[in-house]
Chain A
Amino acid sequence: MKTQPLRLLPDTIVMRAVMILIGALVAMSLVGYWVYRVGAEGLATTARDKGLAERIVSIKRAVSAIPDEIERDRAAHALATASLEVHWSKVSLVLGNAPVTERSRAMEVRLRELVPEFGTESFRVGYADDGALNAGEGDAYKHMLLVSVKLDDGTWLNFASPTFGTAHHMAGNILAIAAIVGSLIILIAILLLRWVTRPLRDLAIAAERFSLDEAREPVSELGPAEVRRAAKAFNTMGDRVRRLVSERTMALAAVSHDLRTPITRLRLRSEMLDDESTRNLIDDDLSEMEMMINSTLEYLSVGVAKEPPKAFDLATMLRTIVDGEADRGQPITLKGIEHAPVLGKPVAMKRAMWNIIGNALKYGNTATVHIKPDGAQVLVEVLDDGPGIPDAEFERVFEPFYRIENSRSRQTGGTGLGLTIAKSIIVEHGGTISLHNRQRGGLRVSVRLPVKLVETAMPGSGKCEDASTRQDHRNMRF
């Protein structure tokens, strides 16, 4: 037996496809987001830096034009905004020996590019976080870009601007939108995939319900190419199986039909014999041949026979079988309910019951048949007083042509099909059959069949009105 591999992947095609889709969507979003971030941030930073540089230049010019030192500081404060602090002082805020980092150099180059006038000015660029300031001032200018511009008189204008990133505020919204759109896409994908894989499910259902019983509607060859192909292959296979089985069945039926003629002739010929004992022996042999032909045909016809399902009374059926066997002098009794309506094929079911009871009488010496309700089922038990059978044989006795060693003797005969036929018929009716060895010896065969009819189907119930009419008839006649 193949062991079930540990299942890491989801089970259905739909779920697997959805997993793949989710993976692809997430990967695409990440790449897109990254491309967007790099591009948009680049643009935003350039625009911001350009604005910053221009403002620095214009503030520097405005402040340079004021000769008074007190006025200069006031003007610098007046020109400051939330995004750009401006202080006038005698010294540069950015140290002359401020470390030149990558971003400070980039900023310096960018300022020079954007505002060519700066080319001649002396200025210093640094980031507070990179250690561009005196240790004492580092905390006050945390996360700030600092630019110190030297005025013509040797004093300094110090600019400080936060190193903010606008893109961070948008990120949350973008992720939420991406999640909603992604979910919608996945939902639509699930519906579409279910639609696409529906022919596959139909195919599986058709395969489960496949039977030889009748020419079923072929599976519709719709859906994607792979499924169409599978459906077509299934239909072809079904036809082939049906044809094969029907050819073999026909061949066997033809043989047994052709055997009927010589057997009929032999019966007529043996009737001409004056020696009665020989005649009886020939008749017995002919009966055995007939029985073998019939049981083989019955075995082949289970599930194929066209017998229409009907409501029938299992209890009266058992009554007929038991009475018939009792009349032949067999030690057999029937106990239990008088009526047990079930739905099924009465001819087939009678064969099944007769086979089980016949087995009990043949190998078990006696037969006691019980019929009783068992929940939603009806239970038929056939008990005998024979030797029983070894537990190991319980399954094998249902195999076709299998016979337990001691039943192969010529006296008991048999084709080894009785229980096989019985089980096939019972299973076809949705029932079960099981064997048990009885404690005090003998075999117990338990058959459970579903009661598909409601209780009102019991004969006799609901006949109150009829009873009064009947009463009238009786009064009239007597």
Chain B
Amino acid sequence: MEKAATASPSDHGNILVVDDDSEIRLLITKFLQRHGYHVHSSGDALGVLESLRRFTIDAIILDVMLPGTTGIEACRQIREASPVPVILLTARSEEDIRVSGLEGGADDYITKPFSPRELLARLRSVLRRSRGAGQTIEIVSKGRILFDGWNLDTLRRELTTPEGVLIDLSTGEYNLLVAFLEHANRVLSREMLMELAKTRTSDPFDRTIDVQISRLRRKLETSETTGQIIKTIRGAGYIFVPKVTFG
């Protein structure tokens, strides 16, 4: 597969890498080229808008700790100029920066030091989603999603009960819930759910969709509401019942 990728370098798209460390820039460039992407790179935020004008960019990998301007500011400028997907590179402890980056229009984030394979998976995911835009799959709304008094904060990835108690979700469960919320009141087959939920993760330990659904149900429901939030449709799949509002 890698050989096929190197044979036709720009098959997968044009990626812009923005990082002030020239070694990392070079290494990410090499790594992405090996996996079939065409890569532009820039050492500062100024080069980003320039590159956006000159080339067709499919996705941007942006380090938030840039000299001169912050990555967050750069992210806002990018968003004003183009709807191109942005993946933020952040430090583990910078939750606030991460959240303001996502608010500023970034599509995903990955914490340094990251595994290159994880970066690749995230990149594929945002590309797939941006290319799928306007087709059958809708783009996630950013911010709060409400259902039945529950609140899902997609920037902080936090789910709270109607009583305001935070419910912990695994990445798989979170992705599944977002998939359900974006397609509420529609019957979703296992295959569709698997596809929808997988777009945001590369977790190799993902269980089958049925296990994930039963775990999600367990966290969402108490004995009196069992089976009322996510209903099983025999032979067809699942449906998310409550009314969902995006706020």
Which of B31, B115, B215 has most chain A Cβ within 10 Å?
Answer: B115
Chain A positions 307 through 324: 1 when the CB is less than 8 Å from some CB of chain B, otherwise 0 = 000111100110110011
Q: Name A248-296 residues within 8 Å CB distance of B.
A: 253, 257, 260-261, 263-265, 267-269, 271-272, 283, 286, 290, 294
Is A328's CB within 8 Å of the partner chain B?
Answer: yes
B residues within 8 A CB of A466? 148-149, 162
A residues within 8 A CB of B173? 320
| Docked-complex contact A457 and B115, CB < 8 angstroms | no
| Docked-complex contact B168 and A460, CB < 8 angstroms | no
A474→B173 CA distance, assembly (Å): 23
A466→B150 CA distance, assembly (Å): 11
Q: Name A421-473 residues within 8 Å CB distance of B.
A: 453, 456-463, 466-467, 469-470, 473
Name the CB-closest residue of B to A317. Answer: B168
Is A477's CB within 8 Å of the partner chain B?
Answer: yes
Is A66's CB within 8 Å of the partner chain B?
Answer: no
A255 CB to nearest B CB, Å? 13
A residues within 8 A CB of B207? 327
| Docked-complex contact A473 and B242, CB < 8 angstroms | yes
Name the CB-closest residue of A to B233. Answer: A478
A residues within 8 A CB of B115? 267, 283
Please count the residue pairs between chain A and chain B whose beta carbons lie under 8 angstroms apart in the complex.
136
| Docked-complex contact B170 and A324, CB < 8 angstroms | yes
| Docked-complex contact A477 and B185, CB < 8 angstroms | yes
B residues within 8 A CB of A271? 31, 116-117
B24 CB to nearest A CB, Å? 6
Chain B positions 15 through 55: 1 when the CB is less than 8 Å from some CB of chain A, otherwise 0 = 00000010110011011001000000000000000000000
Q: Select which of A272, A346, A462, A473 is within 8 A of B243 by beta carbon.
A: A473
A339→B173 CA distance, assembly (Å): 17
Name the CB-closest residue of A to B168. Answer: A317
Which of B114, B167, B185 has most chain A Cβ within 10 Å?
Answer: B167
Q: Name B203-238 residues within 8 Å CB distance of A.
A: 205, 207, 215, 218-219, 221-225, 228-229, 231
Q: Select which of B24, B113, B215 is within 8 A of A286 by beta carbon.
A: B113
Is A199's CB within 8 Å of the partner chain B?
Answer: no
B240 CB to nearest A CB, Å? 10
Q: Select which of B117, B149, B163, B168 is within 8 A of A350 by beta carbon.
A: B168
Is B92's CB within 8 Å of the partner chain A?
Answer: yes
Q: Select which of B24, B34, B243 is within 8 A of A261 by beta carbon.
A: B24
Chain A positions 350 through 365: 1 when the CB is less than 8 Å from some CB of chain B, otherwise 0 = 1000000000000000
| Docked-complex contact A470 and B30, CB < 8 angstroms | no
A316→B93 CA distance, assembly (Å): 24
Is A341's CB within 8 Å of the partner chain B?
Answer: yes
With contacts A257-B91, A264-B24, A271-B31 taken as known, whether A459 is within 8 angstroms of B168 at the C-beta atoms is no
Q: Which range contains the number of B residues in contact with the other chain?
A: 35 or more
Is A108's CB within 8 Å of the partner chain B?
Answer: no
| Docked-complex contact A470 and B165, CB < 8 angstroms | no
Q: How many residues belonging to A are interface residues under a CB distance threshold of 8 Å?
A: 51
| Docked-complex contact A290 and B231, CB < 8 angstroms | no
Q: Select which of B31, B114, B219 is within 8 A of A272 by beta carbon.
A: B31
| Docked-complex contact B165 and A346, CB < 8 angstroms | no
Q: Select which of A264, A286, A453, A460 is within 8 A of B222 by beta carbon.
A: A460
A467→B93 CA distance, assembly (Å): 40
Q: Select which of B31, B92, B166, B205 is within 8 A of A310 by beta carbon.
A: B166
Is A85's CB within 8 Å of the partner chain B?
Answer: no
With contacts A268-B28, A327-B205, A460-B225 taken as known, whether A311 is within 8 angstroms of B164 at the C-beta atoms is yes
| Docked-complex contact A313 and B148, CB < 8 angstroms | no
Name the CB-closest residue of A to B226. Answer: A460
Q: Select which of B21, B24, B161 is within 8 A of A459 by beta carbon.
A: B161
| Docked-complex contact A261 and B93, CB < 8 angstroms | no
| Docked-complex contact A316 and B167, CB < 8 angstroms | yes
| Docked-complex contact B167 and A313, CB < 8 angstroms | yes
B residues within 8 A CB of A319? 168, 215, 218-219
| Docked-complex contact B239 and A272, CB < 8 angstroms | no
Is A338's CB within 8 Å of the partner chain B?
Answer: yes
Is A297's CB within 8 Å of the partner chain B?
Answer: yes
B241 CB to nearest A CB, Å? 6
| Docked-complex contact B162 and A459, CB < 8 angstroms | yes
Is B194's CB within 8 Å of the partner chain A?
Answer: no
Is B112's CB within 8 Å of the partner chain A?
Answer: yes
Which of B113, B116, B242 has most chain A Cβ within 10 Å?
Answer: B113
| Docked-complex contact B113 and A458, CB < 8 angstroms | no
B residues within 8 A CB of A457? 163-165
Is B99's CB within 8 Å of the partner chain A?
Answer: no
A338→B165 CA distance, assembly (Å): 13
B33 CB to nearest A CB, Å? 11
B112 CB to nearest A CB, Å? 5
A470→B229 CA distance, assembly (Å): 8
Which of A253, A260, A317, A459 has most chain B Cβ within 10 Å?
Answer: A459
B residues within 8 A CB of A341? 163, 165
Q: Name B177-215 residues within 8 Å CB distance of A.
A: 185, 205, 207, 215
| Docked-complex contact A477 and B239, CB < 8 angstroms | yes
16 of the cross-chain contacts (CB-CB < 8 Å) are: A264-B113, A268-B30, A269-B27, A312-B165, A316-B169, A319-B168, A320-B173, A323-B170, A339-B165, A341-B163, A341-B165, A457-B164, A460-B225, A466-B162, A473-B241, A473-B242
- In addition to A267-B116, A268-B24, A297-B93, 9 A-B residue pairs with Cβ atoms within 8 Å of each other are A263-B113, A265-B24, A268-B30, A286-B113, A320-B173, A323-B170, A323-B215, A327-B207, A346-B168
B contacts, CB < 8 Å to A = 21, 23-24, 27-28, 30-31, 34, 91-93, 112-117, 148-149, 161-170, 173, 185, 205, 207, 215, 218-219, 221-225, 228-229, 231, 239, 241-243
| Complex A-B, nearest 4 residue pairs according to Cβ-Cβ distance, in ascending order | A460-B222, A268-B27, A312-B166, A263-B113
